[in-house]
Amino acid sequence: ASGEVPYTTFMVSAETKEKEPEFVESIVRAIYKAQQYVQKADDKDIAEAMQPFFPDTTLADLETVSKSYRQIDAWCADPVMTEDAYGRLLDVIEGQGDLMGRPALTDLVDNSFALKVMGQ
């Protein structure tokens, strides 16, 4: 029912994009590699990979989380942020009371690095 939610975002200044494009590209490439892993790995493997970041959570619970995300198609398959996914991200932020406006996707998102690491 929810669809993709950008659970990982990467923000840099315009200056960093201009002066250190290789750095930006390397981070986006790492995100894409992780996204490809999540698409191919089973829920048990994903739970084991998440365990160090959630030491107080059981592997069984983390596996349930992975299954749930997969069932609602919440895992993003690539680093390109679509209008729909961006809207869902804004909805989440807005629901927390932390959003003062809804900026346009094109004002905040540069998908050029994502497209490059995907070979497009």
**Which amino acid is located at 38 in the chain?**
V
Q: pLDDT at position 66, please? A: 95
Q: How sure is the predictor about 42, in pLDDT bands with cuts at 50, 70 and 90? A: very high
Residue 59's Cβ-side half-sphere holds a number of Cα atoms within 13 Å equal to 6
- Residue 1 scores a pLDDT above 80: no
pTM for the full model? 0.81
State what percent of residues in the chain have pLDDT above 70.
Answer: 98
Q: How many helices (H) and strands (E) does the chain have?
A: 7, 0
**Which amino acid is located at 106 in the chain?**
T
Q: pLDDT at position 2, please? A: 67
The residue with greater pLDDT, 31 or 4, is 31
60-90 burial string, b = 16+ CB within 10 Å, else e? Answer: eebbebbeebeeeebebebbbbbeebbebbb
Asked if residues 66 and 46 have their Cβ atoms less than 8 Å apart, the reply is yes
Q: pLDDT at position 47, please? A: 97
Q: pLDDT at position 9, please? A: 81
The whole-number average pLDDT for the span 41-60 is 97
